Chain A
Amino acid sequence: MNLTETLELAVLALYFLGAVLHILAVLIRGPLLRSGGQIATLLGFGLHTVDVGLYLARYGSDALGHGPFYFSLMAWTLIIVSLVLNWRLRMHFLALTSLPLALIVYSFATTLPSMEVILPESFMGLWFGLHIGTLFLSICLLAMAASAGAVYLFLENKIKGKTKITGLSKDLPSLSLFDQVNAWAVNLGFPLFTVGLLSGFLWAHFTWERFFSWDPKEVAAIIVWLLFAFLFHQRLVNGWRGRKPAKLAIWIFALSLVSMLGINFFLETHHSFQP
């Protein structure tokens, strides 16, 4: 087993341990277990950062076109977004979504054969920074908003329906905190998504001399952007809060997943990892 494989295995094990400890902490209400989960996550994230760094050092800008690296970076962004949200909102609950999700995405990265997209050398840095970086961040924020939205709907149902709030639900933070995650995701995520999309179109224009080519991935991205813009507008202009933005965030994230996994792998697109 070489260094990369050892690192990957350690990261997977630590994320797995972190996820299990966080779940156990919620099930048996153990603050110590949660601390253990946080330590495992931070260690895993540290090693993951090393893994990302080594990959970049080995392949340079070519790494950006590699499918496994793409997913590894996605998982890494997901963890960093959840860590920042946890730090800002004291919402360790988000780890329950981000860790299992990062584990799945990172497992993808380690098991995928090394498919790659051929990218023009001159655009690599710009493309990576603006297109991939911003889109990843906004999708990860959406993931957090979707999970917070699902719990919001669950808890709100209980409060509105006046049903028993026992067991796990008793430890949940307040409704307003879950709504705040949605506000964060929309206020930060939408501008980032817009930058990501525009940079993609610009890149397409410089490469193929057309902004839009009806590629399925582009169509899906436009739909996601429209829904995201609607959510952004409703929150900002009409003061949407609570249930409606929670539901819409879930839909937008689901669509993003379909676009990322379904279209990239199963449809013919120039975003495919097939050479």
Chain B
Amino acid sequence: MNQSICLLGLNHRTAPVEVRERYALPDVDPRDQGLIAAKSGVKEAMILSTCNRVELLTVGREDKDTVREILRFWANCCGGDVHELQDHTYTHRNLDAVTHLFSVASSLDSMVLGEPQILGQLKQAYRSSVKQGASGVVLNRLLHKSFSVAKRVRTETKVASNAVSISFAAVELAKRIFGDLSSQTAMLVGAGEMAELAATHLLSAGVKRMLIANRTHARGCELASRIKGEAVLFAELFERMAEADIVISSTGATQTVIQRRDIQSIMKRRRNRPMFFIDIAVPRDIDPDVNNLDNIYLYDIDDLKEVVEENLGQRKTEAAKAMVIVQEETEKFACWLRSLDLKPTILDLLAGGERIARKELKKTLRRLGSKADDPEVSQALETLVLSLAHKLYHQPLDFLKRRAQEEDAGTRYIDVTRRMFNLDNEPPSPDAHPDRRKPQSSEE
């Protein structure tokens, strides 16, 4: 391996929040700030900076000073102290770095195991790196691979299934009661932050209409315009509640706001259509006795917390299966890294050419029928096709050998060649151009 990968970072486990805040690196361009330089030995770099982690991923020469240079760059950018930073960071090199990155992308290293946000943040960080011209052959490949590993983990394990946030658990329960939410109406009683989050989840789950009843009508209107809902007067709360299938209550009231008798009369008007109440207020807004009514389901914050904790436990079991996938994919990536040397690529290219030549030879011999029984004819044909294959590859190989002498270009051209001739036998990505998704016909 002629390229060394280095990952330096801190996260919610190694650094308290004030340190994470101090050493955050949003919008830092590694080219402008001198991370990518001959002195540091870094050729490619990407910076991931989220509220729970800051990580610098670099590719460059194998050098023990590289880590020091990265730390210095990092501390300089934040006006911090190298020693303090060093106390909170972890370093992964080469395949350890690859495994770590795949785990991060698959959300196996996140504070909330399996939460999908980190993948979006990683994609954003990679886009910035590409825009800054800081990523090259290895980072491009590594990041694309990490996205596909994350996808594989999501498909093959249940690490991301089951709700692990209060509002998401509420949405899951609503689906269990109503099935499809696209014809349901939801109502927020109180327009607090938690209620807004729950409303966002419900809307993204497809809820048709959202009513907002807040004591301060102006605040209700403001939230309604933000989430494209309809503000209703608090005085009309029970009148309008009959339209709602899901009610999320989060007022700051010190006593219960919704009583059993209120719901009984609402249910008559609704002709017993089921209602799901989510009480996320502390102290509670809804009389617990409401749950005893037919076709009424009431969950308070503690009930939902229990669901969340249970689901987190299940995710942990799935994480072990996901780690096996990460290890498998790390091995595959290691093979690709090794192939970036010139020799394996030449051998793969020639072997590919010979394979096509022999396949065509077999077809021709079949077509010749009895004439092909003559060993001289078949021998001559074999020599012809093989030398043709070798000669066709002569110019590209010569070109590759010359480019390999150049410090930066070699790896790039080797990578291009491997992709052009599909030497790693990779299926085209789902977002590839339709022409690329057709079956490969090069060997036919």
Residues of A within 8 A of B (CB): 155, 159-160, 162, 164-165, 173-177, 239-244
Contacts and interface: CB of A to CB of B under 8 A. Distances in A.
A174 B179 contact: yes
Contacts of B180: 174
Contacts of A174: 175-180
B274 interface: yes
11 contacts: A155-B176, A159-B173, A159-B177, A160-B291, A162-B299, A162-B303, A162-B306, A165-B176, A173-B179, A174-B175, A241-B295
Shortest 5 CB-CB distances between A and B: which pairs?
A: A239-B271, A174-B179, A241-B272, A239-B272, A242-B295
A177 B299 contact: no
B73 interface: no
B272 A242 contact: yes
Interface of B: 173, 175-180, 271-274, 291, 294-295, 297, 299, 303, 306, 310
Given A159-B173, A159-B177, A175 B303 contact: no
Contacts of A241: 271-274, 295
A243 B294 contact: yes
Contacts of A239: 271-273
A175 B294 contact: no
Nearest to A241: B272
Given A174-B177, A239-B273, 11 more contacts: A159-B177, A159-B297, A160-B297, A175-B274, A177-B179, A240-B272, A241-B295, A242-B274, A242-B295, A243-B294, A244-B294
A176 B173 CA distance: 13
A209 to B, nearest CB: 46
B307 to A, nearest CB: 8
A109 B230 CA distance: 61
B263 to A, nearest CB: 14
A244 B294 CA distance: 9
Given A164-B310, A241-B274, A242-B272, A176 B179 contact: yes
Contacts of A162: 299, 303, 306
B31 to A, nearest CB: 50
Contact of B274 (A155, A165, A176, A177): A176
Nearest to B297: A159
B278 to A, nearest CB: 12
A174 B173 CA distance: 10
Given A159-B173, A162-B303, A162-B306, A242 B179 contact: no
A74 to B, nearest CB: 31
A249 to B, nearest CB: 16
B441 to A, nearest CB: 31
B361 to A, nearest CB: 41
A175 B291 contact: no
A179 to B, nearest CB: 8
Nearest to B303: A162
A159 B294 contact: no
A154 to B, nearest CB: 13
Contact of A175 (B177, B306, B310): B177
A163 to B, nearest CB: 10
A4 to B, nearest CB: 44
B176 A159 contact: yes
A239 B267 CA distance: 10
A242 B294 contact: yes
A173 B291 CA distance: 22
Contacts of A155: 176
A237 to B, nearest CB: 10
Nearest to B173: A159
Contacts of B303: 162
Contacts of A165: 176
Nearest to B269: A239
Contacts of B306: 162
A90 to B, nearest CB: 10
A55 B176 CA distance: 45
Contacts of B294: 242-244
Nearest to B273: A241
Nearest to B302: A162
Contacts of A173: 179
A45 to B, nearest CB: 28
Contact of B177 (A164, A176, A243): A176
A88 B273 CA distance: 21
Instruction: Count chain B CB atoms within 10 A of each CB in A155, A239, A243 and give the residue with the most.
Output: A239
Nearest to B300: A162
Nearest to B310: A164
A162 to B, nearest CB: 5
A104 to B, nearest CB: 31
B301 to A, nearest CB: 12
Nearest to B175: A174
A176 B273 CA distance: 9
Contacts of B176: 155, 159, 165, 174-175
A241 B297 CA distance: 14
B303 to A, nearest CB: 5
Contacts of B299: 162
A170 to B, nearest CB: 9
Contacts of A240: 272
A30 to B, nearest CB: 15
A164 B314 CA distance: 12
B182 to A, nearest CB: 13
Contacts of B175: 174
A243 B177 CA distance: 13
Nearest to B176: A174
